[in-house]
Structure 1
């Protein structure tokens, strides 16, 4: 098994054309072995979108073991690789990526990254959260998704916000009727007023599916327990509180979208 993995990694490193690189990354991703994570992470920075997509798919399949390396990737200056890493985090739904997704969904200058983050916020592994942290985390996700749905200029991002809101509505406890009402009111507003017919249609579908999920009695599903440690949860909580403080500063200065423009200029500068 180790020899097979080594040969797959060598094939990625030795690829001398775009097509061979794509094929090699696809083969490595399909192996679904944790030892492939560093090479898949490296593929995110190659000038080959197809290989990057294959690497993202492979990292999502590997799930939680890939998260520490993905979070480390976010601290680097290669914006392209960082954007792909965010898409992988969004697909995995690990709580350690929550604060990152909150930030990029509302402020990143790349619409593809905001779109992935908005979708990922609704599909977080909420069943992993301890009860005392779940309410704080879901409230932050709700605020971010409502902001994106109301303020984002790109219809594809608002579309993903609808998907995220639908998933979040199905994840929150039935006792949070005010949150459900906020989601339904936002979907109704988008159904009637959004400038994009696709967003309007998706909002209507979300309303119907939320109603169906709420009405039916679903069988109890035994969920996978959280592999995160107490230290991980404390880090998530600290980041949430830090984000809350930063939000207050941004709101005091004006429209939070100003930060998106600043982030974009900084990212372009660091790539030069």
Structure 2
């Protein structure tokens, strides 16, 4: 069995001279799941090689929580493509430490791809990782941003906001009735007034999933009750 030294995997990425070599090197580094390789994987996000970037995103997601702080620290303010990939990785890892970055990206980033990725990611954060007293305020922030983004002029961003709203409202940690009512009312309004058929259809699907989620909660026996 051949064991490749971690620094060799990193150098292979940095020294790749063709797109094919770069993809192979990034794949090898991602599969190794090395914490020391995280900055290199993040750098690949800005290499203008979509195939390599997707592999790097998947590698970062596999590394999970240890990749969150480096991703937050190394987000590229100048390369929106790299920034979009970083946001996609943070959204997939779903660590609530990324909440502030996702909120700002969804609401204010000039790049539509970044805003879409952030909006989708906002709803799917692992809220249970927060202290209990922080869950409701954090979810309220996410909801406020998603409700605003759902009014965007770009249909694709509105679509992403609907995806985020569904993920938020169907989360096991999303139990506050007031927030759930706001999501339901917003989805109803989108279904009634949305001019884009894709967004309207996605809102209808979100409604169905939310209704199913509420129904399953109602079917659960109350504390002390019988099944």
TM-score by length of 2: 0.87
**What is the RMSD of the two structures over their aligned residues, measured on CA atoms?**
2.1
- Runs (4 or more) in structure 1 with deviation over 4 Å come to 75-79
Q: Deviations over 1:105-132 (max 9, x none)?
A: 0111111110100011000010101111
Q: Deviations over 1:40-73 (max 9, x none)?
A: 0121221212212211121111111001111111
Q: Give the Å deviation of 1:76.
A: 5.5
Aligned to 2:119: 118
Name the count of aligned residue pairs: 217
Aligned to 1:87: 88
CA distance in 2, matches of 1:213, 1:197: 24
Q: Give the Å deviation of 1:179.
A: 1.3
TM-score by length of 1: 0.74
Q: How does 1:130-145 map to 2 (within 5 A)?
A: 130-145=131-146
**Please, which moves more after superposition, 196-205 or 164-173?**
164-173
CA distance in 2, matches of 1:94, 1:36: 20
Answer whether contact 1:122 1:141 (CA < 8 A) is retained.
Answer: yes
Q: Deviations over 1:5-38 (max 9, x none)?
A: 3443232122111122122212321222323212
Q: Deviations over 1:51-106 (max 9, x none)?
A: 12211121111111001111111376444433322222122111111001001101
Aligned to 1:170: 170
Aligned to 1:244: none
Q: Which runs of 5+ in 1 are unaligned?
A: 220-272
Aligned to 1:43: 44
Secondary structure of the corresponding residue to residue 15 of structure 1: coil
Q: Give the Å deviation of 1:159.
A: 1.1
Q: Deviations over 1:129-184 (max 9, x none)?
A: 1111111101000000000012x12212111111111111122543x222111111
Answer whether contact 1:73 1:82 (CA < 8 A) is retained.
Answer: no
Q: How does 1:188-207 map to 2 (within 5 A)?
A: 188-207=188-207
The higher relative CO (CA closer than 8 Å, separation ≥ 6) is in 1
Aligned to 2:35: 34
Aligned to 2:224: none
Aligned to 1:251: none
Aligned to 2:225: none
Aligned to 1:12: 13
